[in-house]
Amino acid sequence: MSVQMASEEKMLVEMVRDLAREKVAPRAAEIDATGEFPWDMKELLAQQDIFAMPFPEEYGGLGSSELSILMVIEELAKACATTSLLLCVQQLGSLPILLAGTDEQKKRFIPRLATGEWLAAFALTEPGSGSDAGAMLTRAEKRGDTYVLNGMKHFITNAGVAHINTVFAVTGDKGTRSISAFVVEGDRPGFHMGKVEHKMGIRGSQTGELVFEDCEIPADNLLGKDGEGFKLALATLDRTRPGIAAQALGIAQGALDYATGYVKERKQFGKHIAEFQGLQFMLADMAMKIEAARLMVYSAASRAERGEPALGFISSASKCFASDVAMEVTTDAVQLLGGAGYTNDFPVERMMRDAKITQIYEGTNQIQRVVMARQLLKD
């Protein structure tokens, strides 16, 4: 497919490509090793207006196209998956406000998210409610002009660092039709951080629990109508899953690029190992899968840009396929480096660990296949 972007967006993607190579890549190993949230990378993206990309100009954003956002995520992920996730989650946590928020809510929250002054989080998952949102236990009880939240969210990206949290809670007794969505500011009394997870990959991204104990929030923080939160969550994920696909794509491309350079330099039996046909076939298969994934990811972007109503299939397909490819390609990259690939002296082992989460978060790839099958059967 041909890629159509405005000239200023092409310049932005090229700028991010250089930025990732010069500023992000040198930090990637240290971010992974320390497991500390990369505030310097957050400031870097804010200074370059990268956080402004998903937001309309009227609220201080750039109003960037879906394709350019995905391409920027891809470029950042080639260098550092954790840094690319900053943009992914900023969009994920704030999109419910854009989709269902009032003009007053958008004016209140979006400008500071667009500048990067504030970070966002998306709080749907619970210990007993991962793929099964109907098992959600967090409740929001209406008391006059406020809602009182009680419960806990689990595996939340940006937990404890986000200023704005889109939180889903049960407000009735009708299963998923009683789930509502709220904006919860990080400094609300009764809202605090729970356990911080120690993860295999994307180690610089802070993941943890959000705990609500009689946390009062104004009714004005309700997004959309009471009971429409589950529908809002699905609509959000339909739009943001291609971002995870782009992250997976970038991780895979970064691993291929590194492995290709390595085999051109490494010698065995008196010649560069790139001359061995068996390794050439591995590289060819890796590149072929990446190109197929890229076309699917870019197709998802163009279809979202056109406003197609049924994005569920292509959104799930792009995320599922690209993340499976990322896992395969990074595993092969480790193999191509041999014993060196298994050490943290080289980046491919980190890329392999980072790739794994793309098959899990924003819906496991098994759930993506359920979504795709339902769409096919419905059609």
- E strands along 186-303, which residues? 191-196, 207-218, 222-223, 267-268, 271-272
Give the integer Cα–Cα distance in Å for 320 and 375: 15
Supply 172's token pair.
């009735």
Q: Which amino acid is at 6?
A: A
Question: Quick one: tokens of 7?
Answer: 């000239």
Return the DSSP state at 344.
T
- Write down the catalytic residue from 74, 75, 349, 362: 362
Residue 9 phi, psi (nearest 5): -70, -40
362 flagged as catalytic: yes
3-class SS at 186? coil
Phi, psi angles (nearest 5°) of residue 142: -75, 125
**Total residue length of the chain:** 379
Gap between the Cα atoms of 66 and 44, Å rounded: 21
Q: Which residues are catalytic?
A: 362
